[in-house]
Amino acid sequence: MRTGYTLNGRYRIIRSLGEGGMANVYLAHDLILDRDVSVKLLRLDLRDDPATVRRFQREALAATELVNDNIVQVYDVGEENGMQYLVMEYVEGTDLKAFIKKHFPIPYQEVIQIMMQILNAVKTAHEHNIIHRDLKPQNILIDEHQVAKITDFGIAVAMSEHSLTQTNTVLGSVHYLSPEQARGGMATKQSDIYSLGIILYEMLTGTVPFEGETAVSIALKHFQSEIPSVRDIDPRIPQALENVVLKATSKRPADRYTDVASMAEDLKTSLSPKRAGELRFTPAENDDGETKVLPVSALSTSPVPHAIAKTPGEKAAAATKTDPETTDQAATGKKKRKKYRHPRRRKFLIAGGIILLLILGIFIGMALFRPQMTNVPNVVGDEETVARRAMATAKLKVGTVHKTASNKVKVHRVVRTEPRSGTQLKQETVVDLWISTGPKRYKLANYQGDSYASTAAKLEALGFSVHRESVHSTSVPAGKIMQQSVAAGRQVIPAKTDLTFTVSTGSETVTLADLSNKTKSQAQSYATSHNLNLAFQYAYSSDVTKGHVIRQSPGEGAVVQEGDEITLTMSRGDQSESSSSVDEFSVNVKIPFDSGSTADDSDDDSESSASSSSDSNLVQIYLRDQDHELSSIYKQMTITADTTVTLPFTVAAGKSGAYKVVRDGHVIASDNHVTKN
């Protein structure tokens, strides 16, 4: 689609954002709501497939029900000239795949924070019985505040009918494909959980678990090969965190988490010191009725029966039937062996005794001289002095004492030891201690002008309690933060801090009343109570009393936004009654926008909100001529940039007018002698 094309008379295409196996994505501007959006168009080769089109429409409409801060919101669904399209929230940032490549290695806590947002989004989808089917880092967007948003809920289902035939599409998704999907089975919620496990694997290791030359070879590995251990790649990863990967990516869906909420709960505590000694997760044994090849050693051995059995008589005859010569030789040999056997046996006995003594000596020496072992005691939660005594009792030495923040362990108490408690060590080995400095403090930024949704999601993930107060505003766009209850720059403890943001809901609409025949003061009172701006122009009228409204624009019943300007035509009275000539002229006045900072200079302990650079200026214009007095406001307006206004004057011949411009309470321009020339 070309740049500049306006879809449905509303969405103007700006540029291409990317192309996928099912759709092409464009950045567009919503001309009605004045905001940037993403427009996703179904690919040309799929538009002639009625089943795909129907499913695209049905699932896209279902996706509009998914209201979650971590799901890209679907604003509109439609069709134009056979083109099926979705209009969605535009997220300015990058996808998770590029984020991993740029920022790897990612701190474990940050991995969990991002993953918890992803799980939150999938949980909402599953609660609406919507299975994504194509979860992968390329379908997860990360904005500049590290807020994760999942996209492609609508198109993911449509892809399921084509994923086995469109090689390029599968190649982008097969790295995250569940074993049951790889076998051609139906996708379930556990299939999404498997994909989430692979995504977590990639965030921890920087790579996917299985690679191959073709999509088929990779798919085969998903249901034939075990997931490689993340701890083999990074031994610092706690076993509890690896267990989340292992359980989520179990081959059998029954061995995975029952739901996304269970996975989130397990992931949330995976870095807890209480889980430091956790064993490696192993799924339940299940041969699924497969044929097994047993080793030879597993088979019991039994003597092979003789081909021909002898009768008892034959056995007796064989026993008594002997050769005399052979018997004599055997007897002679027996005597010789008996004659020489005793000296040799004596030698063997002596040698064996010496060997036994040597072995016994070695064991005694090992018992006497081997290093004495001990276990690291569990001192988590103890004061440092108590921990030192416990180490001394265990015959261990205390090494470096580190300071670290902790939300769970009280200040001045042990958070963890290195090596961990329960580890067997040689006596007199050095053990380091980590002592709590109390909960981690977070420095608040200035959030004025930021999106409330993304800011609240980020802060809640850090542990803050976030509240919202909504107000109408003519100068601040809807959804943007106007004020914050705690000043920027303050160091606070997230779990103990409540933040309240004042958020703009945009301008409120006003249905105009009939202002005809109203006086100027009556019209100004109406405008003030409805947050409207007035502009005046004048005309002679023999029907309307001087100083009253002849007409208005827009007219009665028109719907306008707060802050909009209404033009009133005021009566000068009957022209025949005017005995003196007048001069009518206009003067252009430039009003500069002031973006200077008005930041509060209060210290960090102040509870007042810190204000940043001004987003808008309130301007009031006073006019004096035949129809106006400098004591009353001629026009009030809000500006966000340098603005030029045209001031109309009507003065008696030979007389002059005057004006005064006030910006945010300060007079910035005035002229007390304004004439036609």
- Maximal C-alpha separation, the chain: 173
Helix axis angle, 260-268 to 108-127, nearest 10°: 160
Cα dist from 460 to 116, 129, 133, 272, 497, whole Å: 11, 26, 28, 19, 11
pLDDT of residue 9: 82
pLDDT of residue 57: 66
How many angstroms separate the CA atoms of 44 and 39, rounded?
15
Which stretch of DSSP H or E encloses residue 349? Answer: helix 324-369
Indicate the residue among 386, 406, 436 that finishes a domain: 436
> CATH no. for residue 405?
3.30.10.20
Same domain, 122 and 269: yes
Question: Cis omega before residue 419 (within 30°)?
Answer: yes
Indicate whether 81 belongs to any domain: yes
**pLDDT of 447 higher than 50:** yes
Calculate the CA dihedral of residues 87, 91, 97, 102 and round it to 10 degrees.
Answer: 160
How many angstroms separate the CA atoms of 492 and 233, rounded?
36
Indicate whether 303 belongs to any domain: no
pLDDT band of 604, cuts 50, 70, 90: very low
Q: What residue type is 207 in one-letter code? A: T
Same domain, 129 and 230: yes
**pLDDT of 312 higher than 60:** no
Indicate whether 143 belongs to any domain: yes
Tell me the average pLDDT of the chain: 80
Q: Confirm whether 134 is a catalytic residue.
A: yes
Residue 98, Cβ neighbours under 10 Å: how many? 13
pLDDT of residue 266: 95
- Identified catalytic residue from 34, 48, 49, 134: 134
Same domain, 28 and 139: no
Same domain, 172 and 110: yes
Indicate whether 153 belongs to any domain: yes
Contact in structure between 664 and 638 (CB atoms under 8 Å): no
Pairing mode, if any, of strands 397-404 and 430-436? parallel
Cβ neighbours of residue 666 closer than 8 Å, sequence gap 6 or more = none
Cβ neighbours of residue 55 closer than 8 Å, sequence gap 6 or more = 157, 158, 161
Indicate whether 344 belongs to any domain: no
Same domain, 22 and 105: no
> CATH no. for residue 84?
3.30.200.20
Q: What is the DSSP string of 388-407?
A: HHHHHHTT-EEEEEEEE--S
How many angstroms separate the CA atoms of 464 and 447, rounded?
14
Q: What percent of the chain has pLDDT over 70?
A: 80
**pLDDT of 309 higher than 80:** no
Same domain, 200 and 215: yes
For 234-238, 423-427, 543-547, which range has the lowest pLDDT when averaged over its residues? 423-427
Same domain, 539 and 468: no
pLDDT in tens, 612-667: 345 778 888 998 988 788 887 888 788 888 999 988 888 888 889 999 999 988 99
Same domain, 175 and 208: yes
Residue 280, Cβ neighbours under 10 Å: how many? 11
Total structural domains within the chain: 5
- Nearest one of 74, 92, 213 to 144, comparing CA atoms: 92
Residue 64, Cβ neighbours under 10 Å: how many? 16
Indicate whether 175 belongs to any domain: yes
**pLDDT of 469 higher than 60:** yes
Same domain, 164 and 259: yes
pLDDT of residue 120: 94
Q: What residue type is 227 in one-letter code? A: I
Indicate whether 302 belongs to any domain: no
How many angstroms separate the CA atoms of 150 and 142, rounded?
9
pLDDT of residue 318: 41
Half-sphere exposure of 45 (CA within 13 A, CB side): 5
Contact in structure between 383 and 415 (CB atoms under 8 Å): no
Same domain, 172 and 257: yes
Indicate the residue among 56, 73, 89 that finishes a domain: 89
What residues make up the domain containing 45?
Answer: 6-89
- Between 483 and 423, the higher pLDDT residue: 483
Q: What residue type is 486 in one-letter code? A: V
Six token digits for residue 451: 């999106």
Dihedral (CA of 382, 385, 391, 396) sign: positive
Same domain, 604 and 667: yes
Kindly report the backbone phi and psi dihedral angles of residue 489, in degrees, each rounded to the nearest multiple of 5, phi listed first.
Answer: 95, -10
Same domain, 402 and 431: yes
- Between 227 and 223, the higher pLDDT residue: 227
**pLDDT of 460 higher than 70:** yes
pLDDT in tens, 641-655: 899 998 888 888 888
**pLDDT of 367 higher than 60:** no
For 28-42, 280-294, 317-331, 542-556, which range has the lowest pLDDT when averaged over its residues? 317-331
Pairing mode, if any, of strands 491-492 and 533-539? unpaired
Alpha helices in 269-323 (DSSP H): 312-320
pLDDT in tens, 121-158: 999 989 888 888 889 999 899 988 889 999 876 544 43
Indicate the residue among 57, 89, 121 that finishes a domain: 89
Indicate whether 268 belongs to any domain: yes
Sheet holding 148-150, edge to edge: 93-95, 140-143, 148-150
How many angstroms separate the CA atoms of 251 and 284, rounded?
11
Quick check: helix, strand or coil at residue 10? Answer: coil
How many angstroms separate the CA atoms of 16 and 24, rounded?
8
pLDDT in tens, 169-209: 333 478 999 998 888 788 889 999 999 999 999 999 999 99
Contact in structure between 656 and 675 (CB atoms under 8 Å): yes
